[in-house]
Structure 1
Amino acid sequence: MLRLWGRLSSINVRKVVWAAQELGITLQRTDAGGQFGIVRESAYLQRNPNGLVPLIEDDETGVVLWESNPIVRYLCAQHSMGDLYPEALPERFAAEQWMDWQQTTLNPAGRDAFVQWIRTPAAQRNDALIAASVAATEPLLALLDAHLARQPFVAGDRFTMADIPVGCEIHRWWGLPHARGAHPHLEQWYNTVSSRPGARGLLDQPLS
């Protein structure tokens, strides 16, 4: 049994659920964070001192982890070595590279637009923050589109762990109420990964 704490409205929780569904892992998920609370309770903070979601406990191995991309890596390494978790070092670190790019570059660029459009009442929105976020994100999508013009998936010729966090980020960005730029290779890739059975119930849901 894999235990997961986190609400599905969180992009980082969606990554973990998608990985688990790809791998056919039995998942026991508890809503946490946001309106559900739990994350500031002492028992939770002992396991995740950041007080954020997601958090997993793997009953099989005794592993406790927080931080979404390492959790995705862990699950894929444990259950899909050589497939979702590439074994050859060039492919593995290409996947690692793009997973880190999602977390450190693409996500921060788009965060303000998401928070303002989706989680801020209309009367309180900061249009300057939205504009700056869009201006920061669109060149990154062009970069990703050019990358996907050369290969069908983020890390190479097949679906790997790298496609999960990037796919969740694109789902969030394209769910915002703004005109979508022309990124044909990115769109083709997203249509492919979002139609996978493992993405059901995640990339077909509205943002909240």
Structure 2
Amino acid sequence: MLKVWGRTNSINVQKVMWTIAELGLPHEHTNVGGAFGGNDSAEYLAMNPNGRVPVIDDDGLVIWESNAIVRYLCAKHSEGALWQADPAARSHADRWMDWQASSLIADLVTVFWGLIRTPEPERDWIAIGDAATRLNNQMGILDAHLSQLPWVAGDRMTMGDIPIGALVYRWLHLPMERPEAHNIDAYYQRLTERPAFADHVMIPLT
């Protein structure tokens, strides 16, 4: 059976759990990392030498890095749907997944940790403000893109929407100033109609 390790309040774990739920895969989940600890144990580091979450074990195949896990599960279980068989079509999902990891996540983490996990007297307001400005500017690129398409890679949901959708939820619910983004708002409403998204992503930010 598919096994998953990682705390459910991690955005990267949420991506994987959302994917598993979309695919209806039987699995075992173990909370690891954060308040649960365990990600520095010898057993865990043998699976992922980075000590990060999530990690999966699919009948002996161990995979770490959340976007790699999402790609693997979609390729194995959802070819022609979440995983587009045509390489050219799939490249649209791939680029948005990589864009999330390369252009968005670092600034989101700075804002998230600063506003959610750091006591107010200890917050670096300059770093938070600078990261929020960069993040908002990047989200403007997504908003413009979604003016042309209902989903990031076309007219239906693909694996590309999973990293983007998880980040959109956090961006919309962080206690920060945001520019108007009507296309992202409409996109978010489409996401909320998916039970797997509601169950695994739409949870309190902690």
The alignment's TM-score, normalised by the length of structure 2, stands at: 0.97
How far apart are the structure 1 equivalents of 2:26 and 2:102? 30
Q: Does 1:19 align with 2:13?
A: no
Q: Which moved more, 1:186-195 or 1:139-148?
A: 186-195
Per the TM alignment, residue 63 of structure 1 is displaced from its structure 2 partner at its CA by 1.4
Within 1, Cα distance between the matches of 2:122 and 2:49?
A: 31
The answer on whether the counterparts of 2:84 and 2:90 sit within 8 Å (CA) in structure 1 is: yes
Q: Identify the match of residue 190 of structure 1 among 163, 188, 206.
A: 188
Instruction: Give the residue type in structure 2 aligned to 1:47.
Output: M
1:132 matched to which residue of 2? 130
Partner AA of 1:35 in structure 2: A
Give CA deviations for 1:132-157 in whole Å, capped at 9, x if unaligned: 11111111111000001111100111
The secondary structure found in structure 2 opposite 1:82 is coil
5+ long unaligned stretches in structure 1: none
- Partner Cα separation in structure 2 for residue 132 and residue 167 of structure 1: 23
Of 103, 106, 126 in structure 2, the residue corresponding to residue 105 of structure 1 is 103
**Post-superposition shift, 1:97?**
0.6
TM-score for the superposition, normalised by structure 1: 0.96
User: 1:23-172 to 2 correspondence within 5 Å?
Assistant: 23-59=23-59, 62-172=60-170
3-state DSSP class of the match of 1:155?
Answer: coil
> Is this contact kept in 2: 1:167–1:194, CA < 8 A?
no
Q: Deviations over 1:158-179 (max 9, x none)?
A: 1000001000011111121123
Q: Is the 8 A contact 1:110 1:136 kept in 2?
A: no
CA–CA distance in structure 2, aligned partners of residues 63 and 91 of structure 1: 27
Query: Which range is displaced more, 7-16 or 185-194?
Result: 185-194
Q: What letter corresponds to residue 22 of structure 1 in structure 2?
A: E
Give, as a single letter, the amino acid of the residue that structure 2 aligns with 1:44.
Answer: Y
In the alignment, structure 2 segments of 5+ residues that lack a partner are none
Alignment length (residue pairs) = 206
Distance in 1, Cα, partners of 2:106 & 2:10: 15
After superposition, give the CA deviation of every residue in 1:9-58 in whole Å (9 maximum; x if it has no partner).
10000000000000001121101011111111001111100000000001
Identity %: 44
